[in-house]
Chain A
C-alpha cells in the first residue's frame, strides 16, 4: 500500500484516542440536554462545566464562566469582532486589526465597515510581524477594539501579543486575539498577557471539529450572538454540543499538559525537514519569522513552480500539504498574508505550507522530501519561467 504522510496539521488534526474516550459516553450514556433540570440534564451539564474548567485552567482565566462555547474558531472570531464593536459603538466606531488575520476576522471587519465602522488594517514586515510603532500611530480616541492574531496560520509567525495588549490597555482599548494556532504551541496566560477576548478551536489540537470557544474577560461587554436560549449565560443560545465540548476540554488539557514534549518533537522534525530540503532542493526560501515562530508550521516558496501544481503532484505521491490556509486553498488568488509580507508574485505563487503534527517522524520527512524533490524537478523541467539570472 502506498505510504501516505499528513503534513497539514494546521488545517486540522485527527481526534486523539484520549479525546475520543472522553467524548463517547456523551453520545448515548450521558445524552441529556445540559440545560435540563433533571438528572440527565445535570449529568450533561457537569460534563460541560468540567470542560469549561479545563479550558479556563489551561489559559489561566480567572473564572470558568469567562469561557463561552461556540461552533468553532470562525464563530468565535466573528462574534468577538462584531459583538464587541457593537457593544461599544456609543464610545467609538474604530477598530484596528492586521492585514494578515484569518478571514474570519477580516470578513467580520469588512461587514462592520459596511455598517459604518472604520477599520485600520495594520501592515506587517517581511517576517509577518505587526510593528508596534504602526499600532501606536493608528490608535485614535474612538478606537474601541484591537484584534491581532497570536500566531499566523500560514507562516507561523508569533506576534508580540503581550506588548500589543498592554498598549491597547494604555489607551483604554479592548484587546482580542485569535489564538487558534497558538493553543498547545505557545503558553497562553490571559491574565499575564492582559488578553480581554481570545478565540480558540478544538480541531487543531486533536479535538473534534465544530467546537471552539471565546474567552471573554469578566466585565467586557459583548452583544449576544444567538438569541433564543439561556445557554452560555444567555449570550449564545442553542443546545450545547456536549460530546464536542467534552472533547474540546480534554484536548485542551492534553495540549497544555504535553506542550513541552510535543514542541521538542516538532522542533526536531522542523529542523530535520529544513535541513533535508536545503540539502536536496535549490531555489527555495523560507517565509515567516526565522525565530519568532511556532515549530509546527513551515512555509516555503519554490521558484519557477506554481503551488497548486506542486500540491497536486505531492498529493499523488501520498503527501498532504496545503497552499496557504485550507479556508482559502480553493481560491486561485494569492495569499493575502504573503502579499502583506511583500513577497513577489513568483514566490507567493510557489508557496506551500507544511504543518507538522506530534506523530510525524523523520521517516515521514524523508518520504516527503523525496516526493518534493521529484515533484519540483518535474515542474521546473517544464516551467515556462527560466532560471536565467538566478543564483
Chain B
C-alpha cells in the first residue's frame, strides 16, 4: 500500500513536534478526521528559521506535514507561499489517490501559519507605534 520512502518518513518524521517560540501557527483540517498544525519561527528578515508540525491522521497526513515543513524550512515567506499541493505531493512520492487530499491540507496549514505570522507582526508593529 505504501512505499518504503513513505513508511521511513512516517516512522521518523524530521520535523514532528511543537515549536517553542513560534511566531506563526497554522492549522488545516478538523478533529474528526485529519488535522495538521504547522508552527513557524520567522526571522526579522522574513526567513523561516525553524518549522515543525503536529498531525492527527493516517500515515499520509503525518508524512504530508513533514514534507511541507521540509519544503519551507529556510525559505523566505514569498518562497513558502509558493509551496502548494502539487509540490508537497511530489515531495511525498507515490501515495494512494484517495489520500491525495493531504497535500491540500498541508498547503492550507502553511498558508495559515504565514497569515498568522503577518497578523501577529502587524499587531506588534502597531504596538511599537511603527
B33 touches A345 (CB 8 A): yes
B17 within 8 A of A: yes
Report, as a range, how many residues of chain A touch the other chain.
10 to 19
Complex CA–CA separation, A346 to B7 (angstroms): 23
Q: How many A-B pairs with Cβ below 8 Å?
A: 55
Which residues of B have CB within 8 Å of A346?
31-32
Identify which of residues 44-89 in chain B touch chain A, using a CB-to-CB cut-off of 8 Å: 53-59, 61-62
B58 touches A385 (CB 8 A): no
B27 touches A384 (CB 8 A): yes
A382 touches B59 (CB 8 A): no
B35 touches A382 (CB 8 A): no
Q: Which of B8-16, B111-119, B120-128 contacts A (4 or more CB under 8 A)?
A: B8-16
Q: Across the interface, name the chain B residue whose C-beta is closest to A313.
A: B11
B36 within 8 A of A: yes
Identify which of residues 305-326 in chain A touch chain B, using a CB-to-CB cut-off of 8 Å: 305-306, 308-309, 312-313, 316
Complex CA–CA separation, A385 to B32 (angstroms): 10
B57 touches A306 (CB 8 A): yes
Identify which of residues 258-311 in chain A touch chain B, using a CB-to-CB cut-off of 8 Å: 304-306, 308-309
Report, as a range, how many residues of chain B touch the other chain.
20 to 34
**Given A313-B11, A385-B35, A308 and B58 contact (CB-CB distance below 8 Å):** yes
Identify which of residues 329-371 in chain A touch chain B, using a CB-to-CB cut-off of 8 Å: 330, 332, 345-346, 349
Partner of A308, one of B13, B54, B59: B59
A304 touches B11 (CB 8 A): no
Partner of B58, one of A309, A381, A382, A383: A309
B5 within 8 A of A: no
A345 touches B32 (CB 8 A): yes
Which residues of A have CB within 8 Å of B35?
384-385
Q: How far is the CB of B120 from chain A (nearest CB, A)?
A: 20
**Given A306-B61, A345-B31, A312 and B7 contact (CB-CB distance below 8 Å):** yes
Q: How far is the CB of A37 from chain B (nearest CB, A)?
A: 49
Q: How far is the CB of A339 from chain B (nearest CB, A)?
A: 12
Q: How far is the CB of B17 from chain A (nearest CB, A)?
A: 6
Which residues of B have CB within 8 Å of A330?
1
Complex CA–CA separation, A349 to B56 (angstroms): 10
Which residues of B have CB within 8 Å of A305?
56
Complex CA–CA separation, A306 to B30 (angstroms): 13
Which residues of A have CB within 8 Å of B59?
308-309, 312
Which residues of B have CB within 8 Å of A308?
58-59
Complex CA–CA separation, A381 to B54 (angstroms): 8
A309 touches B11 (CB 8 A): no
Which residues of A have CB within 8 Å of B56?
304-306, 383-385
A332 touches B58 (CB 8 A): yes
A306 touches B58 (CB 8 A): yes
Q: Across the interface, name the chain A residue whose C-beta is closest to B57.
A: A306
B11 touches A332 (CB 8 A): no
Complex CA–CA separation, A332 to B98 (angstroms): 8
Complex CA–CA separation, A313 to B99 (angstroms): 18
Q: How far is the CB of B28 from chain A (nearest CB, A)?
A: 10
Which residues of B have CB within 8 Å of A381?
16-17
Complex CA–CA separation, A385 to B55 (angstroms): 8
B36 touches A384 (CB 8 A): yes
Please give the residue numbers on chain A whose beta carbons come within 8 Å of chain B beta carbons, in ascending order: 304-306, 308-309, 312-313, 316, 330, 332, 345-346, 349, 381-385
Given contacts A332-B58, A384-B54, 17 further A-B contacts (CB under 8 A): A306-B58, A308-B58, A309-B57, A309-B61, A309-B62, A312-B2, A312-B7, A316-B7, A330-B1, A346-B31, A346-B32, A382-B16, A382-B17, A382-B53, A383-B54, A384-B27, A385-B35
Residue pairs across A and B with Cβ atoms less than 8 A apart, 22 shown, are A304-B56, A305-B56, A306-B58, A308-B58, A308-B59, A309-B57, A309-B58, A309-B61, A312-B2, A312-B7, A312-B59, A330-B1, A346-B31, A381-B17, A382-B17, A382-B54, A382-B62, A383-B56, A384-B29, A384-B36, A384-B37, A385-B31
> What are the 9 A-B residue pairs with the smallest beta carbon separation, nearest first?
A308-B58, A345-B32, A384-B35, A382-B16, A384-B56, A384-B54, A384-B37, A385-B56, A383-B56
